[in-house]
Every structure is written in structure tokens, then in C-alpha cells.
Structure 1
């Protein structure tokens, strides 16, 4: 099912904004300590997008996401950090470029850190590999990202064993609610193999009440701490559109919730319609 999805239609939309603001905040918190990090991006896409492509222009989703945010530039450290990264990407790749999560990881992490980026679709995987061909820190894999969790964790490259790092899971949800079953299973597998790792799962929100079983199962995962950060640009009462999205964050760095709380407030105000909203709730607070 993943083979049909192309993120180029949706790059830079409100969901990308939430995901990428949080991703950079995660990276900055993790790199505050000197030990090297390993990052696994399970559904990496091509890594770099052109917002003036026919695909992006057809949906126009970026206009209500990164376009609006750049125009208004709300003042918050995490948002400013994200906008600076987008501008840095455009200085290198052109004024219509937009960085995907692998590009942001490569931008935020350090020379001794390592990144594995997985993409199942052959054409997207080829573009991913081309984007990072000159970056020795990044290995691009044409493979199923869920299977990579089992194959690549706990991370060890050469003689280096990585005790810290991040797994970001961003599936297309073409299977709708069934995708949550697969994701929860993958998170459980990942936490078993790398219990000290930080895990982030992105998910779409149409009708939030339909997500209650997911929240319950997420709270039961063997993580030290678990919270959700959600951004709604429309009321969460229609099953026919993506009204918002969220991130499930497991073993998040200390005080990341405080950083994201302030950013969510401004993102809802900037990107949402008059009924836009945000939510940050602990499912399992740290002991």
C-alpha cells in the first residue's frame, strides 16, 4: 500500500510543519549532550521537495503551511529554528525547495552522528540516495521502514555502538486505522531492542474520538514516558479530510513538552481556522 503514496503532493503542509518543528526540537535537545547519536527515519520519502512542482501546485497545501508560517514568522524559539532551517535549505537548493525529515536530520546533527533513511518506493528511494550521496553520515535504504526497526536496532556501525538517538516513523496511513496496529507493533519492537531510544510517531487526525484505542495502546508501551502533541487546523469532526495531525513521543528529552507547548499555541493561531486548536497530553508521565 505504501507504494502508491507520494509525499510531494503534501510537502510543506500543516502536518509537515508540526512534524518538522518537533523534529528539530528533538535534535537540538539530543545534541545538547556530547555522545554521538543514531537517527532512523523509517518512511523518509525523497528527502527534498520542490514546492513549484506540478504535484505540489496541484494541491496547494504548502500555502497554508510553510507559506503562511514564513509570511507571519511567529516568535518562538522552536518555530524560528525551523524557519531558519527551511531558509538554509533554500539557499542551497533554490527558493521553492522544502526539506524533508532526512534533510533536516542531516542539517541538525553533527559529524559523528549517523542517519539511516529508509524508503520503500523505488523512484523515491533513488532520489533519496542521490540527495545524500555526498554525505557520509547518511545511509539511504530502499527497504520497508518497519522491517528496518528490527534489522537496524540496536544501532551499531563499525566499532561504534550508539546508546542514544531517535527513530521517526511517518507512514502514509493508506491503510487508514489499520496502520496504527502496524505502528504500535513496530514501536513495541523498537523499544524492546533499543529501550533508551527516543521514538516519534506521526499520525493524521480526522475524528479524534476514533483514536481512543490508539491512545490506550500507546500508553501501555514499555517506554519511560509518553506524550502526544497535536495540531488541529479544522474541527476534528469530519472523517473526510485531515483536520490535523499529532506526534506520539516516547522517551522524549527532558522539557521537550514545555518547548512544544508554546510552539503549538502559536502554530494553531497561525495555521488554523477560527476553530483551530492544539493539545499536549501525557499518556505516561516520567517517574
Structure 2
């Protein structure tokens, strides 16, 4: 089942959390001279045109990234991420929004390497066209969960794995936990980030419980909800489960999560979570 197209949701509150965390992980990795490897299990098309018919249908970016672009008091981590968006829109008009491959590419050095997986028959060629040179990125029409097995451990010995399946089928919730376990067995020192939607509290908590049950240590949770999680109005929020996070991420999140709640809230029940699922 491959019906999900992220273009309809590009630049929304969930993208902001996911890409902000990815940005902070990459900033941390590039503080050291040694190269790093990036694996994106569900890369999408990489760059989203917000004036397209699909993006204009719901205009989710209008209550997401557009609000941040209007702010002049962004916390430093958010300012660094928003600068990536501004660089893609040099005339000041919001036309393009970066997917995770483009966020990571902003930080990539010649010695670093990306491996991007995308199965959707319409999205894969767009992603491949965005990164035509294998020196920069290896783009494959492949199951990203299987790539966690085949690509780890990387020769670079440092790495970041982003897993953000669409969860359009329920077993994605089980697959992402299994992939985390498989990856961690092969590459325990790597940083793993799992994005998940908050469609209802029970489903989200079930995933968090399953991650906790793996007993993988040093696992941090960041969750942003722009409205109450028990309302039946689609995705109330989303979260990032980060294994081996940058040592600064928790303290940084204490500044940017409250700011995002204040800026993106849709009702008075908006809130965030920041806690250790499993401490180090």
C-alpha cells in the first residue's frame, strides 16, 4: 500500500519537529572532523513545491513553517533550521520546503555519505533527480527497513538513521521498532531518530511502550501536540524518539518545545513531552 504522498502535508507542525531534530543531530555530528553516514528509510521527494496543487489543497504549511518565518525571536536551534528554509527561498517568498534529505544535505561535507530509500513509484524518480550524483547520495528504490540491516554498520563508524514511515498500514508501528532493534545490534553507537504521529493517545503510547520494552538505553522522547490528543480531528501532534541523542539536545528542547507550543497551538490543550524513555 503506497497511497501516502507527503506533499499534501509539507511544512506542517510535524515536519518542523522532525526536521528541527534532524538539523540539531547533524549540527552535532559536523562538530567533529570524522565523516558520518546518513540513512533515510523513507526519504520522500526531498524538496516540496508549496505552490503545487497538492500542497495548496490543505496549505498545512500556513500554520506551520509560515508562522516561524514571521518570527524574530526564534530560539537558536530553530533559527538555524529556519535559515535552511530561507536559503531555499532567497526572494523571501515561501515556495519551497526541504524534506529530510535536503535538511541533512545542508550540513553534508564531501567526506560524508547519504543513503536515501524511497519505494513510492512517483516519488522515487523525483528524489533521484534531486540527487543525481552518487558521490553525494546513493538513492535507491528500496524498502528502507531492510536497508537498516544491509547498510549498517557503515564504514564511516559514525552515523544517523532517520525512520519516518507513513504509518499508513498498522504494522509500520511494529516494523519501525524491529528495525530499531536490528540497527542497534549492528551499530550500537549510531544515532537513531524515529518519527511517529499522534493520531490518538493509545496508539502513540503503545509505540512508546514497545520502544521502552527493547531496553535500548539512552533514548530520549520529544513530542509536540498542537491540540488535545483525544480530539478526532486528524493528527494532533507528533514525536521523535531519539537513541543516542546529541548531549545538548535535551537542554535545547527545553527552549524550543515550549516556543513551538506557543507558536503553533490550535487550542488550549496544546502541550509537549520531553522525557527519557530509557536513560543512559
Q: Give TM-score scaled by structure 1 length.
A: 0.93
CA distance in 1 between counterparts of 2:72 and 2:53 reads 26
- Show the counterpart of 1:219: 212
1:76 corresponds to: 75
1:163 aligns with 2:162: no
Structure 2, unmatched stretches of 5+, are none
Equivalent residues of 1:29, 1:256 under 8 A apart: no
Is 2:50–2:94's contact at 8 Å kept on the other side of the alignment?
A: no
Structure 2 CA distance for aligned equivalents of residues 261 and 135 of structure 1: 38
* Alpha-carbon distance in 1 for matches of 2:147, 2:16: 25
> Does 2:174 align with 1:175?
no
Specify the alignment match of 2:238 in structure 1.
245
- Cα RMSD of the aligned pairs, angstroms, is 1.7
**Cα 1:68–1:143 shift into 2, 3 Å:** same
User: Secondary structure at 1:235's aligned position in 2?
Assistant: coil
1:16 aligns with 2:7: no
Is the partner of 1:102 in helix, strand or coil?
helix
The answer for the alignment partner of 1:35 in structure 2 is 34
Matched, 1:235 2:194: no
Q: What CA distance in whole angstroms lies between the structure 1 residues aligned with 2:269 and 2:80? A: 26
- Greater than 4 Å deviation, 4+ residue runs: none
Matches within 5 A, 1:37-56: 37-56=36-55
Question: 2:277 maps to what in 1?
Answer: 283
In the TM superposition, 1:54-203 aligns within 5 A as 54-91=53-90, 95-134=94-133, 136-155=135-154, 161-176=155-170, 178-203=171-196
| Contact in 1 for aligned 2:25/2:246 (Cα 8 Å) | yes
TM-score (norm 2): 0.95
Distance in 2, matches of 1:261 and 1:8, equals 30
How many residue pairs align between the two structures? 279
User: Displacement, 1:255?
Assistant: 2.0
Deviation at 1:61, TM superposition (A): 0.5
**Could you list the per-position Cα deviations for residues 215-253 of structure 1 after superposition, in whole angstroms to 9, with x for gaps in the alignment?**
222123353301110000010112441000000101112
| 2:197–2:204 CA contact under 8 A, matched in 1 | no
Partners of 1:57 and 1:192 in 2: CA distance: 42
Q: 1: CA distance between counterparts of 2:172 and 2:20?
A: 24
How far residue 44 of structure 1 moved from its aligned partner, in angstroms, is 0.2
> Relative to structure 1, is the Cα distance of residues 128 and 196 closer, same or farther in structure 2, using a 3 angstrom cutoff?
same
Q: CA deviation at 1:211?
A: 2.7
Take 2:49 and 2:99, find their aligned partners in 1: how far apart are those partners? Answer: 10
C-alpha separation between the residues in 1 aligned to 2:133 and 2:157? 26
Q: After the TM superposition, which of the residue ranges 222-231 and 32-41 deviates more from structure 2?
A: 222-231
